[in-house]
């Protein structure tokens, strides 16, 4: 089937209190692994690329690989721009065939953030593409996460959605990008208050390393899309190193990459099962 819009996928997830898993896919091996995992789990999936991945692999190549994966899949597959950093990048992705975009201007002051996101939303909606945006600060693991003042204020979230017209909101409620170094502290009461205020599917960034039970609690409070990246990258690299350590004379890239692809698939399948409610 062709690439799918996440708008319908997340609307159904929001109504029925499950979530769609979204995975950072940096190359063909990771894309294949994620789509195979989704097929085995019998669930839709979102392939995500950042501007850095576009610079690495090339926009046209990414779209061609994603389209090929989607057309051969038995489940819906969407292609999403994650953390778009400029208006120009968003427009390039819209023209190339991305089925959703996320713009990250969260470090700007509130009104500047909202104005920039509103501009992106106008362009994306004209192309029939939904928009995700972040409000608050979802820190990195090395930064120890966001402080209280950087978490998303429910009242501000409501105003942000009204000003921007976005389709999905990524609030800051204690998650971090990367794998947690210490205790995981998620503000579920804040998340629930945000959900009541905005009435939109919410997106959980920084889900790598978060226990399934906590992810399910977030889903019960309005999260309809859950992002994973670091765990997949670590598994991919770990298996590459392991294979090369055990087969130092191997020169066939296909044999070297296959175990890494399988490792990514197994993790992705487990995450899909967690967010779709198949396993706790």
Residues known to be catalytic: 82
Residue 206 labeled ligand binder: yes
Residue 177 labeled ligand binder: yes
Main-chain phi, psi angles of 22, to 5 degrees: -125, 130
Say if CB 228 and CB 22 are below 8 A apart: yes
Residue 178 labeled ligand binder: yes
Name the DSSP class of 209: T
Residue 134 labeled ligand binder: yes
H helices present in 101-222, as ranges: 110-126, 154-164, 188-198, 212-220
Residue 247 labeled ligand binder: no
Residue 104 labeled ligand binder: yes
Say if CB 219 and CB 17 are below 8 A apart: yes
In 3D space, the residue among 199, 232, 188, 222 whose CA is nearest the CA of residue 49 turns out to be 232
Residue 61 labeled ligand binder: no
Residue 230 labeled ligand binder: yes
User: Residue 38 CA to chain centroid, in angstroms?
Assistant: 15
H helices present in the chain, as ranges: 6-16, 28-41, 51-57, 59-71, 87-96, 110-126, 154-164, 188-198, 212-220, 230-246, 253-275
Residue 228 labeled ligand binder: yes
Indicate the annotated binding residues for Zn(2+): 83, 104, 134, 177, 205
Indicate the annotated binding residues: 83, 104, 134, 177-178, 205-208, 227-230
Indicate the annotated binding residues for dihydroxyacetone phosphate: 178, 206-208, 227-230
């Amino acid at each position: 089937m062709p690439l799918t819009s996440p708008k319908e996928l997340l609307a159904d997830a929001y109504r029925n209190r499950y979530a769609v898993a979204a995975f950072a896919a940096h190359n063909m091996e990771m894309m294949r692994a994620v789509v195979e995992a989704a097929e085995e789990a019998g669930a839709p999936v979102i392939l995500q690329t950042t501007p850095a991945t576009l610079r690495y692999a090339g926009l046209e190549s990414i779209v061609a690989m994603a389209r090929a994966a989607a057309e051969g899949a038995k489940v819906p597959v969407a292609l999403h721009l994650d953390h778009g950093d400029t208006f120009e990048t968003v427009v390039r992705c819209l023209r190339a065939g991305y089925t959703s975009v996320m713009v990250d201007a969260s470090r700007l002051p509130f009104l500047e953030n909202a104005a920039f996101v509103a501009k992106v939303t106008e362009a994306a909606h004209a192309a029939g593409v939904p928009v995700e945006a972040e409000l608050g600060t979802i820190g990195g693991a090395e930064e120890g996460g966001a402080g209280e003042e950087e978490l998303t204020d429910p009242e501000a979230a409501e105003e942000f959605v009204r000003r921007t017209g976005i389709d999905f909101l990524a609030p800051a409620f204690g998650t971090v990008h990367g794998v947690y170094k210490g205790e995981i502290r998620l503000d579920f009461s804040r998340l629930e208050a945000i959900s009541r205020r905005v009435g939109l599917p919410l997106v959980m960034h920084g889900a790598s390393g978060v226990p399934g039970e906590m992810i399910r609690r977030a889903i019960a409070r309005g999260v309809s899309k859950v992002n994973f990246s670091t765990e997949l990258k670590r598994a991919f690299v770990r298996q590459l190193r392991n294979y090369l350590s055990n087969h130092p004379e191997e020169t066939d890239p296909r044999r070297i990459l296959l175990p890494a692809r399988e490792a990514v698939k197994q993790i992705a399948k487990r995450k899909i099962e967690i967010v779709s409610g198949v396993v706790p």
